C-alpha cells in the first residue's frame, strides 16, 4: 500500500471543479449591455440615414418618370442608368454598414469574453479550483459548483462599459 500512496502523492492533484455559465454572464454583463446599447443607437442612426437617401432616390425616380415625355430617349436612358447606379451603390453601402456593425459587435464580444475568462481564472485560483467547466457542457451539477454569480460580479466590477469596436467607413 505504500507504493499506492507514493503514486497518489506524486500524481495529479485531486480535482476541484466549478461551473460557469458563460452564456448567461455574457448576456447579463454590464459591458455587453453597454455594447448592445451602442450598437442599437448606431444602427438606428444608420437606418435613418439610409432611409433619407432612399427617399431622395425615390423622389428623383418620380421626377425622372414625369420628365420622360419631354426628355430625349438617350437622355432619359442616361438619367435612368445614373439612378440605377445610385440605387446599387446605396444598397452596397447599407450592406457594408451592416457587416461592419456585425463585425464590430463580434470583436467587442470577443474582447469582453477574454476579460471574463481572465476573471474566472483569478476567481478559480483564489478559491482553490483547478478545473472550471462551461455550464453548456454539463448535464447535471450541484449548484454549489456554480461560480457564475461571483464571476458576473467580478466581470461587472472590472468592465462595466466598453467601446464598440467599429471601423469607421464613411458616416458613423
Cβ-contact 128, 16 below 8 angstroms:
yes
Q: What is the pLDDT of residues 22-52, one digit of tens each?
A: 999 999 999 999 999 999 999 999 999 999 9
Q: In the predicted model, what is the mean pLDDT of the chain?
A: 88
Q: Does pLDDT of 145 surpass 90?
A: no
Q: Does pLDDT of 62 surpass 60?
A: yes
Cβ-contact 120, 151 below 8 angstroms:
yes
Q: What is the pLDDT of residues 98-134, one digit of tens each?
A: 999 999 999 999 999 999 999 999 999 999 999 999 9
- C-alpha pair distances (Å), 29 with each of 34, 76, 134: 9, 56, 16
At 13, is the pLDDT very low, low, confident or very high (cuts 50, 70, 90)? Answer: confident
Cell numbers 453548456 correspond to 136
| Length of the chain (residues) | 172
Q: Tell me, yes or no, if the pTM score tops 0.85.
A: no
Cell numbers 459587435 correspond to 105
- DSSP secondary structure of 117-138: HHHHHHHHHHHT--EEEEGGG-
Q: 76: exposed, middle or buried (C-beta count within 10 Å: 0-12, 13-18, 19+)?
A: middle
Amino acid at each position: 500500500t505504500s507504493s499506492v500512496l507514493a503514486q497518489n502523492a506524486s500524481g495529479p492533484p485531486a480535482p476541484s471543479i466549478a461551473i460557469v455559465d458563460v452564456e448567461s454572464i455574457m448576456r447579463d454583463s454590464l459591458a455587453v449591455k453597454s455594447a448592445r446599447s451602442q450598437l442599437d443607437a448606431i444602427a438606428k442612426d444608420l437606418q435613418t440615414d439610409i432611409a433619407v437617401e432612399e427617399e431622395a432616390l425615390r423622389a428623383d425616380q418620380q421626377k425622372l418618370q414625369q420628365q420622360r415625355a419631354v426628355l430625349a430617349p438617350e437622355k432619359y436612358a442616361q438619367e435612368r442608368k445614373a439612378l440605377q447606379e445610385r440605387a446599387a451603390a446605396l444598397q452596397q453601402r447599407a450592406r457594408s454598414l451592416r457587416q461592419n456593425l456585425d463585425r464590430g459587435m463580434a470583436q467587442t464580444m470577443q474582447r469582453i469574453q477574454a476579460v471574463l475568462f481572465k476573471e474566472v481564472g483569478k476567481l478559480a485560483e483564489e478559491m482553490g479550483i483547478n478545473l472550471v467547466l462551461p455550464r453548456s457542457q454539463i448535464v447535471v451539477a450541484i449548484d454549489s459548483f456554480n461560480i457564475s454569480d461571483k464571476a458576473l460580479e467580478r466581470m461587472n466590477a472590472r468592465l462595466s462599459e466598453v467601446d464598440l469596436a467599429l471601423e469607421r467607413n464613411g458616416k458613423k
